[in-house]
Amino acid sequence: MNVFSLALANVRALRRRLIGLVALVSVAAAVCLGALGIADRAQGVTDSGVKESSANRSITVDRPVDRPDTPQLTDRTEARLAKLPHVESVQHRAQVSFGVLTKAGDTVLLYATTYRPALTPPVTKSVRKDLFPLKPGEIVAPAASQGADLGKLVGQDIEIETTRFVRQGEGTGVTGHARLVGVYDPTWQLDNPDAAYAADSTVVRWAAQRSGEQEKNYLSTVGYDQLTVVARTAADVPAVTKSVQQLGYPAVTLQQQLSALPGVLEMIKVVGQVLLGVLGVLAFVGAVTVTGALSRQRAQEIGILKAVGFRTRSVLTMLVTEMALVGAAAALIGVVLGALLGGGAAALLRGSAELAPYVKGWVLLPSAATLLLLLGLTVLVVAIGSLAPARRAARMSPTDAMKDW
């Protein structure tokens, strides 16, 4: 019988004494794999979504305020930019201020903003599933603004006040009504901290009214305050940005931290990394303790092996192999438990609208490379932990090992 077969037979015979070590390592591995699996899957979904998302392919073109020789961002400019190479679409933004009159008598100042599909706000409450595009007279506002809770007004007609041009530097208020069809997370501030999205026709009408320009001429004279150029692929962004800048327009790529995980998932990722270190410590300490205890209990067995011709190296190899087999069994059990734990945690996280897109799938485990590396390290740490006590046991002379026979 070779050393490996002997070690396997010993593990089977000693399985009851090894249950504690197996349970310790497998549970620690399960928690670690569950956390890493959720974080890894979430990161993968985020990376793939960000890479070719329209936001990641967007170039922001602002109104050329300090460049009198550069044309304004009119409808003709929008059409010109759309013809540039590698451009998928050009989406415009116009803004104009208006007031929302609350029942308490206060006025909340918001900015009516045209909707751009490349930068869809994170809607938290709405009257219908497919909220965009908006109909004339509908608005989507931040859930809270200037101390006012607008979320409770969703689905209601609200009183608003816009401004009509009278003469240079002077305007008069005009009262009207609009329907609040949704609210979004107020931390979304790419268009303005107090942006309220409305249909293009609504925004242009209010902006023309404020400027004193005829509504039909507004887009060809005053134009938009910002254009978003969407490149066909993320790789085309530098070339498209350069083309826009060569036309004299200030253009920058959108830098939003979409690659960062939500706070809960980032915390899970950190917990998984911490538990990875804890797993290593537990596996090492457990292996040292169990191997030392078993070696003392099996002193007579070791003495017999050495008496019949087993060398110190063979006994050492047998004892370390036993612990390596135990580590492998614990790691495999940990994988199964980790998949179950990760699946259960993912099911709970899917209850959150913010986190649900990041935890797709039912068996959440890290990538195959990470999984194999973790399994190998678990076995290696257990084997290394058993090395010192196994060496002491293997060096005993047959006489000392069998003196209490």
For the chain, the average pLDDT equals 80
350 pLDDT band (50/70/90 cuts)?
low
269 pLDDT band (50/70/90 cuts)?
low
pLDDT in tens, 50-91: 444 566 788 889 887 766 667 789 999 999 999 999 999 999
The domains of the chain are located at: 3-51+261-401, 58-253
315 pLDDT band (50/70/90 cuts)?
confident
Whole-number pLDDT of residue 260? 45
358 pLDDT band (50/70/90 cuts)?
low
pLDDT in tens, 140-157: 999 998 888 899 999 999
Task: Give the range among 69-83, 132-146, 183-197, 390-404 with minimum mean pLDDT.
Answer: 390-404
pLDDT at 362 over 60: no
The arithmetic mean of pLDDT across residues 322-337, rounded, is 84
| Bridge partners (DSSP) listed for residue 108 | 100
- Read off the pTM: 0.53
